[in-house]
Chains A and B, each alone.
Chain A
Amino acid sequence: MTKTFRMDEAQPRLLDETGQGIIGAPLDRPEGPKKVSGRAAYAADGMPDNAAHGVLVRATIPRGRITGIDTASVAETPGLLGVFHGPRFIRNPAQGMAGEAPVQPGDEVHYHGQPIALVVAESFEAARDAAQRLVVSYDADANVDTDPAKTDALEKGDPETAGDFEAAFSKADVTLDRAYSTPPHAAAAMEPHAALAEWEGETLTLRGAQQMLKTNRLELADAVGIDPENVRILSPYIGGGFGSKLGIGPEAVSAALAARELRRPVRVVMARQTVFDAVLRRTETTQRLRLGADRSGRLLALSHDDRVTNLQDEGFAEPVSQASQFLYGAEGLSFAQTLARVSRTPSGSVRAPGEAVGMLALEQAMDELAEMLGMCPVELRLKNLPEKNPMTGQPFSATRLADCLRDGAERFGWKDRKPVGTRRDGEWYVGMGMASAARSNMLIESAARVRLSAEGAVVETDMTDIGTGTYAILGQIAAEMLGLPVEKVEVRLGDTRFPAAAGSGGSFGASSAGSATFLAAKAIRETLAERMGCEPSDLTLQNGMARGGNREVPLSELIDAELVEEASVEAGDTSESHFSSGFGAHFAEVAVHAYTGEVRVRRMLGVMAMGRILNEKTARSQALGGMIWGVGSALTEEMAHDPRTGHMVTRDLANYHVPAHADVPGDMTVVFLEERDDMANPIQTKGIGELGISGAGAAILNAVRNACGARIYDMPATPDRVIAAMDAAGY
């Protein structure tokens, strides 16, 4: 029987009292050796002998109808097994947590690059060649909206407000009104999207690269037209997701459909170009920030409006102003979003949707406001930290933002920051910048099973590990609760036959699946306490020994048959009564070449308070990874679409520039401030990975300004934009 726990009130901090002492320990990831030695089987590994190869075919018009797929054009292909298409094919991956099939467009084409057919052959090379040569005829629409700047297919949302923004803005002593733009971003996971589908009677088994198995199973079943009970998804290892593997994708659905018809396993691995064409990307944004303050630096008015894009029928719109709505308080607040519909690869959640791009604008605007006020940017932020969420009135569950700002400024040597454009090192201008970090935190329904036997413990959940350390932390939680060395706990993930968890997304995985694991282990502790004849609160478990009621007994003696407990957790009253978010402060020092405008980040510091840290090493790696994505969003990352067709022009990792090693400073420091978020979940944790991104890019861009005078309103700060901005600023 699954015990469901609702998070209605703060829970005791049990993990601070248990005796094993490994919560927070910087342990290595247990699956690490397998991954670096090639023994961890990813979706495309382990091809069964009789499996066939499928390659996706893309549409090459922006919009219209397919009038013919000429299979005769590839009939001569050696080992050709078939060309598959039809009403069950999906247009693009499902949005995260959709739980149903994405749009199945039939013979309609909605964007250039849309997967429209699958060619299957005995060899990968033959399938790829046939996919390239397949003749498709279209009835193309004239006048398609492919350019977000020109489309008038606009969905304007009513502004979300608190107080009277206009009134507050008009009485401000100092005002700023700025436009910003960010380009589309790719998730750019290393592992391309892959699926291996195999049928046994009515049952479909899919080995896929998926982040959220609970909803992926529903999406796949719905797309293929079968009962979810007959779908099993296995996704034990994932080579990075960054949001791009949240929903079931065309590779999985097409593999399943072809495998059913061919009665043999079919593997589909997207080519890198297909990943760019057909996987959800982050939208381009244009943003307008209006800030009004009195002379003392108190914010009176704050408005953050944005315009984002998506393809028709997609429900997702990048929540650009998410952090702006709670980070600082003001009398008048206003946030309006416009969604432009364009025929381009649809957009979805990519690494910290909302904050990753919204905070680039908000935190640059705050920096500029500080400069207009003649105030220290750290001071300006400290002066405007609200007591409560200014939009909802909820108290914050835990916030140490002020501590992060002060601690960071101290450690970084912020007081040595020089006036704009006055610090030089040879041909390089040098400057410092900072920004706040914020990323709202969630608890998502999750279940896990824990088994305890004399040999050790096993954790089972369909939770995934996308390279973030889930195997490590779930093992640590179970080991801590059951008083076992962590080697005695085996963690099994990524199988829909296990209890359903939140999956990896929104940085909520560790807190959600971790809480479920904690609760299941807690139930086992209760049984053990009973057997010891003591209260659970008097039970101490450590290194395989149980102590309580004046007895000390080896754990193995308490267990006759395996003890099995399953628990699930869901958000409750605390998610209404309190607002939970991770907070932090980013600091950066950059050098800007005075002639060429090249930017080199010299050092970065992130000071973060994000609840209880479960594993110092994996948490730090998450935070560092996030900060590196911050470097990317500030300096290098930019997807380009052809405005005429909407098609993706940057279709590989040579053209889409994630930061290279040389872009990442050797001196990158992450500091965690001790924190417990009692209202967040029973283990007092918060989300981690995405907080590292949120604000990091703005700290870099603010440092660019301090170094050389260039303010970068259109991101990223590539050399062409930096020299233009230096010219504009007169440097």
Chain B
Amino acid sequence: MRDFEYSRAESLDGAAGQLGDGASIIAGGTNLLDLMKIQVMVPGRLVDISRLEDLKGISEHGDGLRIGALVTNSELAADARVRSGWPLLSRAILAGASAQIRNKATTGGNLLQRTRCPYFYDTAMACNKRTPGEGCAAQGGVGRMLAIFGTSEHCLAAHPSDMAVALTALAAEVEIRAADGGIRLVPVRELYRLPGDRPDLETVLGAGEIITAVRLPAPRPQTRQVYKKVRDRASYAFALVSVAVAVEMKDERIASVSLACGGVAPCPWTNPEAEQALIGAAPGDDAFATAADALVAQASCHPDTEFKIPLLRRTLIAALREATGLADSAAANPTTRTPA
């Protein structure tokens, strides 16, 4: 581990002032400290924001919620308002990491956690995200966790957050405070940049900017929300693929749908064509398959991620079946066969 300076911010202004070159905010530290130990991240200074009261707590904001950047993943998932109005968010958070990590992990830190690409973690391997221009060892290597959408020849990595996927499907916005104190709002999906030729630039945050909160708009009434995460073991693993959907039904047809996918892109992945294909449709595996086709149409795979196309299709269909009540009726008809 490299030596670093440590300073505890007493105010937002103070924090912004200390965020010079080579400085990094530390919140829960569950991602940053791991990366510092293996020297993938080597900040010269840590600015500890964990005592800033302004960033704590969940408050009602219009018909929605304002979630402070320091609200822990555990606190957010357990919040009664969240569980009743935005159950998708609770489920996504609880599908991630472990109870101990969620107790420490924060809302802001979760959004900004780094990729889990194993070559990014190994300083003996070339990685453009770690060292721009060095090359990408994942090309031609192994990588079942890599992305299939939004990648570039310079970087194939996926963003690992489950929470960000749920927030995207729920149309949440990130509240960002500039060094001069100005506040701007950015939809969660647009917080992230696609890698292009600069995979090291991961978000639209500028120098000295701090995430202060996430704003969650009122849920649409009558929506059924589902988060479906498929992984290599039953818990404590990152998503191979995940699907967040919120579906609103009217007269037995889909009136509106909001969809985001995880484990497949450098950001929570959205696809308006797939959503469009569902609007007005009667729920059923055929309609869902059409949406799934639209969803995976643009995929571009590393040899190890080809499975993500069928897996994402199937996971989307499963999530939609659950969100539209079809999965419930399957229990009553135990011999139903599954179309591939």
Q: Which residues of A contact B (CB under 8 A)?
A: 58, 60, 112, 125, 128-129, 132, 273, 421-427, 593-598, 600, 635-636, 638, 640-644, 647, 649-652, 654-655, 657, 659-663, 718-720, 723-724, 726-727, 731
Contact = CB atoms under 8 A, between A and B. Distances in A.
B232 A636 contact: yes
A714 to B, nearest CB: 12
B100 interface: no
A contact patch SS:
loop
B142 A640 contact: yes
Given A597-B311, A650-B118, A731-B337, A426 B124 contact: no
Interface stretch (B53-61, B177-185, B233-241, B273-281): B233-241
9 contacts: A273-B38, A427-B318, A595-B315, A651-B118, A662-B236, A663-B235, A720-B144, A720-B311, A723-B311
Nearest to B140: A644
B232 A643 contact: no
A644 B230 contact: no
A424 B234 contact: no
Name, among A426, A638, A657, the residue most crowded by chain B CB atoms within 10 Å (CB to CB). Answer: A426
Given A597-B314, A644-B141, A719-B311, A663 B234 contact: yes
A649 B118 contact: yes
B331 A425 contact: yes
Contact of A660 (B39, B119, B235): B235
Contacts of A644: 140-141
B307 A724 contact: yes
Measured as residues with beta carbon below 8 angstroms from the partner, the interface class of chain B is 35 or more
Interface in B174-198: none
B315 A427 contact: no
Contact of B230 (A598, A647, A651, A727): A598
A194 B59 CA distance: 49
A643 B321 CA distance: 40
Interface string B306-340: 01101100110110011000011011001111101
Contact of A662 (B234, B238, B314, B322): B234
Given A642-B141, A660-B235, A595 B317 contact: yes
Given A424-B331, A596-B315, A644-B140, 6 more contacts: A128-B1, A640-B118, A647-B124, A651-B118, A662-B236, A719-B231
B332 to A, nearest CB: 9
A421 B314 CA distance: 18
A655 B238 CA distance: 9
CB-CB nearest 8 A-B residue pairs: A720-B307, A662-B234, A595-B318, A662-B235, A424-B334, A426-B331, A60-B124, A594-B338
Contact of B1 (A58, A125, A635): A125
Nearest to B332: A426
A261 B234 CA distance: 49
B311 A731 contact: no
A659 B338 contact: no
Contacts of B240: 718-720
Contacts of B234: 598, 600, 660, 662-663
B338 A731 contact: yes
B228 interface: yes
B134 interface: no
Nearest to A59: B124
B7 interface: no
A593 B118 contact: no
A353 B122 CA distance: 30
Interface in B194-244: 228, 230-238, 240
Given A60-B124, A720-B240, A426 B144 contact: no
B334 A425 contact: yes
A595 B3 CA distance: 49
A650 B314 CA distance: 27
Nearest to A125: B1
A148 to B, nearest CB: 14
A596 B311 CA distance: 6
Given A129-B2, A593-B318, A635-B233, A723 B140 contact: no
B233 A636 contact: yes
Contacts of A652: 121
B232 A424 contact: no
A401 to B, nearest CB: 31
B116 A654 contact: yes
B290 interface: no
A580 to B, nearest CB: 36
A635 B307 CA distance: 17
B334 A723 contact: no
Contacts of A636: 232-233
A10 B251 CA distance: 80
Contact of B232 (A60, A128, A273, A719): A719
A596 B340 CA distance: 10
A74 to B, nearest CB: 13
Contacts of B335: 422, 424
Nearest to A658: B233
A596 B314 contact: yes
Contact of B336 (A424, A638, A640, A650): A424
Contacts of B103: none
B298 interface: no
Given A600-B234, A720-B307, A651 B327 contact: no
Contact of A719 (B1, B230, B330): B230
Name, among B310, B311, B328, B330, the residue most crowded by chain A CB atoms within 10 Å (CB to CB). Answer: B311
Contacts of B233: 635-636, 657, 659-660, 662-663
Nearest to B143: A649
Contact of B123 (A132, A649, A663, A720): A132
A132 B39 contact: yes
B142 A723 contact: no
A596 B228 contact: yes
Contact of B142 (A643, A662, A663, A731): A643
Nearest to A429: B338
A651 B330 contact: no
A690 to B, nearest CB: 22
A125 B42 CA distance: 13
A427 B321 contact: yes
Contacts of A727: 310, 340
Given A643-B142, A644-B140, A663-B233, A595 B314 contact: yes
Interface string B84-126: 0000000000000000000000000000000010110111100
A641 B122 CA distance: 13
A145 B189 CA distance: 44
B176 to A, nearest CB: 29
Contacts of A719: 230-232, 240, 311
Interface string B119-153: 10111100000000000010011101000000000
A363 B331 CA distance: 32
Name, among A427, A636, A650, A660, the residue most crowded by chain B CB atoms within 10 Å (CB to CB). Answer: A427
Contacts of B37: 128
Name, among A595, A635, A661, the residue most crowded by chain B CB atoms within 10 Å (CB to CB). Answer: A595
Contacts of B119: 649
A620 B71 CA distance: 43
Contact of A596 (B39, B144, B232, B318): B318
A274 B322 CA distance: 44
Given A596-B315, A655-B118, A657-B232, A423 B1 contact: no
Contacts of B340: 726-727
Given A424-B336, A644-B141, A649-B118, A129 B314 contact: no
A644 B335 CA distance: 47
B142 A649 contact: yes
Contacts of A662: 233-236
Contacts of A660: 233-237
A424 B333 CA distance: 8
